[in-house]
Amino acid sequence: MTHDIQSELPIGVFDSGVGGLTVLKAIREALPAENLIYLGDTARLPYGTKSPASIERYATQAAAKLQAQGIKLLVVACNTASAVALDALREAMAPLRVVGVVEPGAAAAARAQPGGRHLVLATEATVRLGAYRKAIAACDPQAVVREHACEMLVSLAEEGWSHGDIARAIVQRYLDESDGHNPDTIILGCTHFPLLRDTIQDVADEGVILVDSASTTADVVREALRADGMLRGGGEPGSLRLLATDGATRFARVGGQFLGHDLSYSDVELVDL
Ligand code: DGL
């Protein structure tokens, strides 16, 4: 396949649910000409409470589904799948380039607050593996990192309950549990959590900086495509295909909040993995 034909292929993006749309949105803003295809594995959400073996199997099946559509690069827009299965995915998808979100998120935090005190809010699986602690230590050895599992925030985001008293109370409870760390940075180490950004910012101590991996991941994608000569040129905006493994209506309702524009269930294709 020539590079011209390859550059027309979409970028594949997947997550366990609608959370990865926060990353897709950042890629769309940074690279508006790119064609995109997104898969939310809503039938098997959440990934964050599952065993590493199940997460790896689910992630590999989701990635294979996207690869079968014909893609030029794969973005694992799920911290949990990135933490658990990035190496396995790279091996299974080779020579396709696979970009995860943990390293870009860690780099964003290290840049926002060098030598900082970071509190990572993430899923149980991401925390269990110490994924952010290791990734931040690799780029900023002076940083002090605490990781905290906040699985219920995934449900709030999927439910579309990101604002209001219930969301505030749950965020407060999680932040209270990590009392004593006095972070200067909170890392949104799950792609669902940017939807709760306002609530978390509101509940956190004044001056705490919130960081997520969306825009840094988009930068990594741009640089990878540029290096491979596969950026899509021309002024035409790229296309967007949305796939989900269950619940097209719910996906459209909540996904619209993530993307910032209305979606209808007919915008979402249901697929089996
Ligand atoms: N959005 C996923 C992440 O970034 C996790 C949500 C889930 O538990 O499935 O970790």
pLDDT (tens digit per residue) in 104-113: 999 999 999 9
Q: How many CB atoms lie within 10 A of CB 28?
A: 20
Residue ID of nearest Cα to ligand 1 atom 7: 46
Q: How far is CA 55 from CA 219, 232, 246, in A?
A: 26, 32, 17
Q: Is 46 in the pocket of ligand 1 (CB under 6 A)?
A: yes
pTM of the full predicted structure?
0.93
Q: Is 150 in the pocket of ligand 1 (CB under 6 A)?
A: no
- As given in the structure block, the two tokens for residue 113 are 């607050």
- Please give the Cα distance from 6 to 232 (Å, whole number): 9
pLDDT of residue 235: 75
- pLDDT confidence tier of residue 180, bands split at 50, 70 and 90: confident
**Lookup result for tokens 């991401």:** 126
Among the listed residues 153, 190, 231, 268, the single catalytic one is 190
pLDDT of residue 234: 76
What is the three-class DSSP state of 187? strand
Answer yes or no: 190 catalytic.
yes
Q: Is 40 in the pocket of ligand 1 (CB under 6 A)?
A: no
pLDDT of residue 181: 76
- pLDDT of 176 higher than 80: yes
- pLDDT confidence tier of residue 1, bands split at 50, 70 and 90: low
pLDDT of residue 236: 86
Find the mean pLDDT for residues 31-54. Answer: 96
DSSP labels, 204-273: SPTTPEEE-SHHHHHHHHHHHHHHTT----SSSPPPEEEEESS-HHHHHHHHHHHHTS---GGGEEE---
Partners of 74 in the β-ladder: 12, 98
Find the mean pLDDT for residues 195-224. Answer: 94
pLDDT of residue 52: 96
- pLDDT confidence tier of residue 4, bands split at 50, 70 and 90: confident
pLDDT of residue 261: 86
CB 181 within 8 A of CB 143: no
Percent of the chain scoring above 70 in pLDDT: 99
Q: Is 15 in the pocket of ligand 1 (CB under 6 A)?
A: yes
pLDDT of residue 178: 82
- In order of their start, the domains of the chain are 3-100+216-270 (3.40.50.1860), 103-213 (3.40.50.1860)
Establish whether the linkage from the previous residue to 141 is cis, with ω within 30° of 0.
Answer: no
Establish whether the linkage from the previous residue to 32 is cis, with ω within 30° of 0.
Answer: no
- pLDDT of 58 higher than 90: yes
pLDDT of residue 3: 65
Answer yes or no: 150 catalytic.
no
- Please give the Cα distance from 96 to 211 (Å, whole number): 28
- pLDDT confidence tier of residue 233, bands split at 50, 70 and 90: confident
Residue 252's nearest CA partner among 266, 238, 239, 241 is: 266
Among the listed residues 74, 78, 175, 248, the single catalytic one is 78
- pLDDT of 166 higher than 70: yes
**Lookup result for tokens 């995109």:** 36
- pLDDT of 26 higher than 70: yes
Distance 126 CA to ligand 1 centre (A): 9
- Please give the Cα distance from 207 to 83 (Å, whole number): 29
- Please give the Cα distance from 248 to 37 (Å, whole number): 15
- pLDDT of 12 higher than 90: yes
pLDDT digits over 87-122, tens only?
Answer: 999 999 999 999 999 999 999 999 999 999 999 999
Q: Is 75 in the pocket of ligand 1 (CB under 6 A)?
A: no
| Residue to mutate (ligand 1; options 22, 47, 101; most atoms within 8 A of CB) | 47
- pLDDT of 221 higher than 80: yes
Across 119-128, 197-206, 251-260, least confident range? 251-260
Q: Which atom of ligand 1 is nearest to the CA of 49?
A: 8
